[in-house]
Amino acid sequence: MSSVLTKADLINSLRQQEPNLSRPLASKLADAFFDEIVLALERGEAVKISGLGSFRRRRKKERPGRNPKTGETTIVSSRNVVLFQASQKLKSQLKSQKS
């Protein structure tokens, strides 16, 4: 089973790198960072983070679907989805790592 990096872990990492940073301020910084990504995506903008990758919003069209429990055919409505594409740098780093 793989482990999970949480927002709390990110905040702790920030505080280790900057010991004078208080927990509330580190939490506010993390919130502001993630909020800005969400707001940009809501505006339809792409978000590019150097060395990590790009986030973008895409509209999925309405399509036919099936209820897995009942087998009943239904229509899946159109919706927005978020796509992430890893940067070449991230892909290279992960590819070169030994498992």
| Whether 12 and 57 share a structural domain | no
| Whether 11 and 50 share a structural domain | no
The count of domains in the chain is: 2
Distance (Å, whole) CA 22 – CA 11 = 10
Q: Is residue 69 part of a domain?
A: no
Distance (Å, whole) CA 81 – CA 86 = 16
Torsion sign, CA atoms 41, 43, 44, 46? negative
Phi, psi for residue 79 in degrees, rounded to 5: -160, 165
Confidence of residue 99 (pLDDT cuts 50, 70, 90): low
Domain around 28: 7-43
| Whether 81 and 37 share a structural domain | no
What is the longest distance spanned by two Cα atoms in the chain? 58
Distance (Å, whole) CA 43 – CA 37 = 10
| Whether 38 and 22 share a structural domain | yes
Provide the pLDDT for residue 1. Answer: 41
Confidence of residue 97 (pLDDT cuts 50, 70, 90): confident
| Whether 38 and 12 share a structural domain | yes
Provide the pLDDT for residue 2. Answer: 61
Distance (Å, whole) CA 1 – CA 21 = 33
| Whether 55 and 12 share a structural domain | no
| Whether 23 and 50 share a structural domain | no
pLDDT tens sequence across 52-81: 999 999 999 999 999 999 999 999 999 999
Q: Alpha-carbon Rg of the chain, whole angstroms?
A: 19
Indicate if the pLDDT at residue 34 is higher than 80: yes
| Whether 52 and 79 share a structural domain | yes
